[in-house]
Amino acid sequence: MAKTILVVDDSGTMVLSLKNNLEIAGFAVQTASDGLKGLERLKAGPKPDLIITDINMPNMGGIEFIGKARATPGFRFTPILVLTTESQQARRDEAKKAGATGWMVKPVAGADLLKIVKQVLPGA
Amino acid sequence: MLTMRLPSALAAPFRRTSRRRAAARALPAAGGYEAAIEASLDLDREIGRKLDEAVARTETSALAIMQQVRELSDRSTELAARLQQATSDAAEFEEDIAANAAALAQLARFLECLPARLQRDLACISAIAGEIKGLSGLAENVQAISMQSHLVSINAAIEASRAGSAGHAFKVVASEVRALAANSHTAASHIGGSLERIRSMLKEGLENSTAESAEDMVHINRVSQAVARLQTSFDRACGSYRERLGEMHDHGEALAAGTVEVLGQLQYQDVVRQCVERLQAAIAQRNAALGQEFIGNPVPRPDVLARLVADITAEYLATERLHGDGMTAENSAPAIELF
């Protein structure tokens, strides 16, 4: 059965790019346009095996979303990757503290993205 | 359909400057700066609108490109599935042909041995003909013996006649011996005739077989060569087919890898959008400072404004340094990092 990945980003271009890329690679993809909708997705199910989130989003940003996702039952150990244009160490530390698994700076090459996804998703 | 969001940080200063501009029209001119500032703000607004349009267009294009790429990818996936089916069919076909090739090889071996068999059969028939010729000689001997018996019986009959009544019984015996000699001669003649006919038939058959076998040899050689050519053609066709399938598989993989890379490259649209948004926010901040200092202030302070704009520039540049893909960001942290 295909692994499911939740993509949280306010950019339609990013969402479609990641969705197509991951679906072609055989993953099932859910999407949300901000952190708030991302949390709703987590609560509504089905449970994703991996979450990829942006940082700067309206309504609820990525750091807050990661923290709240970690506090949601069943998502303590789900890998969460950040995909953002930001690259500074301080923001990475914030994300790490909130519970992020890794950090990727946009744009990330399709092959590199799949490599990282397979690295954090054993058996993918 | 997605719509572009104008950042609130960008839109608010424009609204503020518009209100202040209306208020400033009632105030005395501040050293002639007001008209210049208004013109500059108008230009900035036009630039902002154009940048918004450009971002919207690139987003529309990026989404359309992604749609097309996805369709191409789906077609490629379908092609790969058909290719997989073709490979499976080809394997089955190859097994059938391999079995047929084995039968052809067996046929070729049989054809190779056939001339020797024909030669052996002909030699056997020739030996039988020789034996029959020997039997014909024996029949002639029997005829000679019966002829001699006939002569002996005649002489015996003559001698019996001379003996008178005493030789009467012997005369009967001589007569029977003569009849026996005549029968033996007739039988030997029949046997000799039959053997001669058989020998003629064998001779004729042997001559025909020898002539036909020479002709058959030519056909057999042709068939053997055709079978060998067929096997070679089949091996070549199988190799070529496998090669083409391999090439198509490689092309399919290259196409899939290219599709993934194109999708990755389209992320630049979002990177550029955010870059434009930060630029517009900085311009809005500068416009707000200009409006506050020149339009809302009866006594403009150029030195204060210069410091404000310098601070805005420094903040903008500092923000820019925190963003980027490693090529533009002045940041040593890796683009991809697992915690």
Chain B contacts in chain A segment 76-105 (CB below 8 A): 85-89, 91-92, 96, 100-105
Q: Is residue A120 part of a domain?
A: no
Cβ neighbours of residue A118 closer than 8 Å, sequence gap 6 or more:
A124
Widest Cα–Cα separation across chain A? 38
Would you state the pLDDT for residue B16? Answer: 43
- Say if residue A46 is preceded by a cis peptide, omega within 30 of 0: yes
Alpha-carbon A60 to chain mean position: 14
Does residue B3 surpass a pLDDT of 60?
no
User: Mean pLDDT score of chain B, rounded to an integer?
Assistant: 78
Q: Could you tell me if B77 lies within 8 Å of chain A, comparing CB atoms? A: yes
Structural domains of chain B, with CATH: 8-22+29-321 (1.10.287.950)
Cβ contact B338–A119 (<8 Å)? yes
What percent of chain B clears pLDDT 70, i.e. is strictly above it? 87
With respect to residue A79, please indicate whether it lies within any of the assigned structural domains: yes
Q: What's the number of domains chain A is made of?
A: 1
Locate B246 and state its tokens: 């391999």
Which region among B7-16, B59-68, B173-182 has the lowest average model confidence (pLDDT)? B7-16
- Give residue for tokens 């084995």: B102
From the CA of B288, how many Å to the nearest CA of chain A?
24
Q: Is residue A87 part of a domain?
A: yes
Q: What is the mean pLDDT of residues B291-319?
A: 82
Greater model confidence, B332 or B74? B74
The ipTM, to two decimals, is 0.85
> Which pLDDT score, from 0 to 100, does residue A8 have?
97
pLDDT surpassing 80 at residue A3: yes
Q: Which residue has better confidence, B24 or B58?
A: B58
Query: By residue range, what is the domain housing residue A17?
Result: 6-108
**Residues of chain B contacting A112 with CB distance shorter than 8 Å:** 264, 336
Please report the beta strands in chain B, taking only residues with DSSP state E, as ranges in sequence order: 336-338
* Contact flag B59-A116 (C-beta cutoff 8 Å): no
**What is the SS3 string spanning B139-151?**
HHHHHHHHHHHHH
Distance in angstroms (rounded) separating the CA atoms of residues B261 and B270: 16
Instruction: Give a yes or no: residue A115 inside a domain.
Output: no
pLDDT on residue B17: 45
- Give yes or no for residue B200 having a pLDDT over 80: yes
A66 contact residues in B (CB cutoff 8 A): none
Mutant choice from A13, A52, A115 vs B, greatest count of B C-beta within 10 A? A13
Q: What pLDDT was estimated at residue A83?
A: 94
Do the Cβ atoms of B339 and A11 come within 8 Å? no
Question: What CATH number is given to the structural domain containing A99?
Answer: 3.40.50.2300
Say which range, B50-54, B92-96, B263-267, has the weakest mean pLDDT.
B92-96
**Helix, strand, coil % over all residues of chain B, rounded to 5:** 90, 0, 10
Burial-class residue B91 by CB neighbours within 10 Å (0-12, 13-18, 19+): exposed
Within its chain, how far is the Cα of B323 from the centroid? 49
Q: What average pLDDT does this structure show over B214-233?
A: 79
Contact criterion met (CB < 8 Å) for A24 and B256: yes
Query: Is B1 within 8 Å of chain A by CB?
Result: no
Q: What is the mean pLDDT of chain A?
A: 92
pLDDT tens for residues B54-73? 888 888 888 888 888 888 88
Does A24 contact B at CB distance below 8 Å? yes
Any residues with CB less than 8 A from the CB of B198 and at least 6 apart, and which? B132
Contacts A100 to B, Cβ<8 Å:
339
